[in-house]
């Protein structure tokens, strides 16, 4: 009996939530999704065929860059200090 009463109260609560606030919650979720999808479009739009410049030129330049990648990585990630300025 207690379970049935609890279930009925839960149903009433959900019904009132559905009438009063569900569309607000859906709107908030849609807004968040739109922001996220915009970010993904800007960064990975080439996955859906949008010709984004950075990935396109990266591919064009890749054959020329490959020989230098190891050196570049070493230099970017090496620890530096002031004395390097003397060199």
Partner 1 sequence: MQAIFIILGALAVAVGGYRWYAGFIDRKVIQADPHRVTPAKMYMDGVDFMPTSKYVLFGYQFKSIAGAGPVVGAIIALQWGWLPAMLWLFLGVLFIGWVHDYVSGMVAMRSDGLSLGGLSYKLISPRARVILLSFIYFYLLLLAGAFGGVIAGALIKLTSGPVAMLVLALAGVLAGQMIYRWRTNILVTTVVCVALALIGIKLGEMLPTPSILGASVAANKFTWGLFAVIFCYISAILPIWRFALPLNYVAFYIVMFGLVGGIIGILVGLPPVQAPAFTQFTIGIGPLWPIFFVTIACGAISGWHSMVSTCGTCRQLEYETDAKPVLAGSMFVEMLLAVVALMTAAAAMPFSQYKEIMTKGGGAGPVFATGLSNFLNIIGLPLAYGKTMGTVIIIVLALTVMQLVLRFMKVATVELVGDRAPILRSGPVATFVAAALTLFLVQTGWWQYLWILFGGANQLLSSLALLVASAWLLSQGKKATFTLIPMWFMFITTIAALIYTSYNLLSKVLTGQVKAATGQTLLEATVGNGLMGLVALFLVVAAVILLKDGLQALGRYKEHGAAAAAEAK
Size of the site for partner 1 (CB under 8 A): 21
Q: Quick check: 46 and 55 in contact, CB under 8 A?
A: yes
Nearest distance in Å: CB 22, partner 1:
4
Question: Applying CB under 8 A, which of residues 6, 21, 35, 68 lies at the interface with partner 1?
Answer: 21
- What is the Cα Rg of the chain in Å? 28
Stretch that binds partner 1, among 27-35, 39-47, 57-65, 68-76 (CB under 8 A): 27-35
Q: Which residues of 25-36 are buried (b: 16+ CB within 10 A; e: fewer)?
A: eeeeeeeeeeee
- Interacting residues toward partner 1 by CB under 8 A: 10-12, 14-24, 26-31, 33
């Amino acid at each position: 009996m207690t379970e049935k009463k609890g279930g009925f109260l839960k149903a009433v609560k959900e019904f009132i939530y559905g009438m009063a606030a569900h569309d607000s919650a859906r709107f908030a979720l849609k807004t968040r999704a739109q922001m996220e999808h915009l970010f993904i479009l800007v960064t990975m739009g080439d996955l859906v065929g949008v010709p984004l410049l950075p990935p396109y030129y990266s591919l064009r330049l890749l054959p020329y860059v490959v020989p230098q990648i190891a050196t570049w990585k070493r230099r970017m990630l090496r620890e530096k200090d002031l004395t390097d300025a003397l060199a």
